[in-house]
């Protein structure tokens, strides 16, 4: 009986982590190709602005504080808005993309920290969700897990269906547009897909580390294979191994945050892949 309860309790976090790993890994090679690592960082940190807004609203409307998911809704809204804003400004080309991302990241982060300080000063305790948004938590419910899995499955399905257009856009946007690819649509679609995975990832790995799930699998895969199809497959394997290993560590040692465990395992995989690529290069030479 106790074993059955343990399995049921562990199913939602395991399902969520694996689904997230697959979605991030499916996007990872394209994120690396477009040099969008900082976009993930900017969107993930913008969630603090959303949470901060909700925390301030709690001071004006105390009833909001009774909703455990209120701050997370703020994270979702702000992340989506920031993702679209970054997509618009990077598409317009009026400013350097790194500058745009940095502006939104620091502004949202500063707003969230300011709101947290105001809330803590007024209430004399930390707002709910502060540490969760920083480092992530695995105490996810089954409904959240099912919704997250459905979103991740949709992300993967879109990547599969529009794979040729996405590849063309990522590797040569000018040539893709000349070939008839709807470059503007693909640009915003990719931004949206990245944002959706980050919104889920913030809950699991935290805003500080979620970008690693979008970067490390693809970076590792590209060290082992230059063929796109093989790289995506390797990226999926790397992401799943990291997620499964990190969650297993968390289940055995619950004082360890799942986010750092997952990211460190992904980093180990990257180091191993780098070593193998160097050995392969030495033997080929």
Domain span at 50: 2-278
Tally of residues, the chain: 285
Assigned domain for 104 exists: yes
Assigned domain for 222 exists: yes
CA distances (Å), origin 73, targets 43, 70, 105, 181, 190: 15, 5, 18, 34, 22
Assigned domain for 251 exists: yes
How many domains is the chain built from? 1
Residue 127 DSSP symbol: P
Gap between the Cα atoms of 122 and 22, Å rounded: 42
Assigned domain for 164 exists: yes
pLDDT at residue 4, as a whole number: 47
Gap between the Cα atoms of 244 and 269, Å rounded: 13
Assigned domain for 285 exists: no
Question: In tens digits, what is the pLDDT along the chain, a chain of 285 residues?
Answer: 444 445 566 788 888 889 999 999 999 988 888 888 778 888 888 888 888 999 999 998 988 888 878 888 888 898 899 888 888 887 776 777 778 888 888 888 899 889 999 999 999 888 877 777 777 777 788 888 999 999 999 999 999 999 899 988 888 888 888 888 898 899 999 999 999 999 898 888 887 788 889 999 999 999 988 888 889 899 999 999 999 998 888 888 877 778 888 999 999 999 999 998 888 766 665
Assigned domain for 242 exists: yes
pLDDT at residue 177, as a whole number: 85
Assigned domain for 82 exists: yes
Q: What is the CATH number of the domain that holds 122?
A: 1.10.3470.10
pLDDT at residue 19, as a whole number: 92
Angle between helices 210-224 and 183-205 (to 10 degrees): 120
Assessment of whether the complete model's pTM goes beyond 0.95: no
């Amino acid at each position: 009986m106790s074993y059955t309860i343990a399995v049921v309790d562990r199913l939602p976090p395991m399902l969520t982590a694996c689904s997230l790993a697959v979605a991030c890994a499916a996007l990872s090679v394209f994120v690396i190709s477009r040099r969008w690592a900082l976009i993930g960082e900017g969107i993930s940190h913008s969630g603090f602005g959303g949470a901060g807004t909700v925390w301030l609203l709690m001071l004006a409307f105390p009833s909001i504080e009774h909703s455990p998911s209120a701050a997370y809704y703020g994270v979702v809204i702000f992340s989506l808005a920031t993702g679209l804003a970054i997509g618009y400004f990077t598409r317009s080309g009026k400013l350097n993309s790194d500058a745009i991302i940095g502006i939104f990241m620091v502004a949202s982060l500063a707003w969230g920290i300011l709101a947290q300080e105001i809330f803590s000063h007024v209430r004399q305790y930390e707002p709910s969700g502060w540490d969760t948004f920083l480092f992530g938590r695995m105490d996810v419910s089954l409904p959240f897990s099912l919704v997250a899995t459905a979103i991740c499955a949709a992300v993967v399905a879109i990547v599969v269906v529009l794979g040729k257009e996405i590849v063309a856009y990522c590797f040569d946007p000018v040539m893709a547009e000349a070939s008839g690819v709807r470059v503007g649509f693909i640009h915003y679609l990719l931004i949206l897909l990245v944002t959706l995975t980050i919104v889920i990832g913030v809950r699991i790995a935290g805003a500080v580390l979620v970008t690693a799930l979008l970067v490390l699998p693809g970076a590792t895969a590209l060290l082992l294979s230059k063929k796109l199809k093989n790289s995506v497959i390797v990226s999926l394997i790397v992401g799943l191994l990291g997620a499964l290993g990190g969650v297993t560590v968390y289940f055995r040692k619950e004082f360890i945050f799942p986010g750092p465990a997952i990211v460190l395992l992904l980093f180990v995989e990257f180091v191993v892949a780098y070593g193998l690529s160097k050995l392969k290069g030495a033997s080929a030479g």
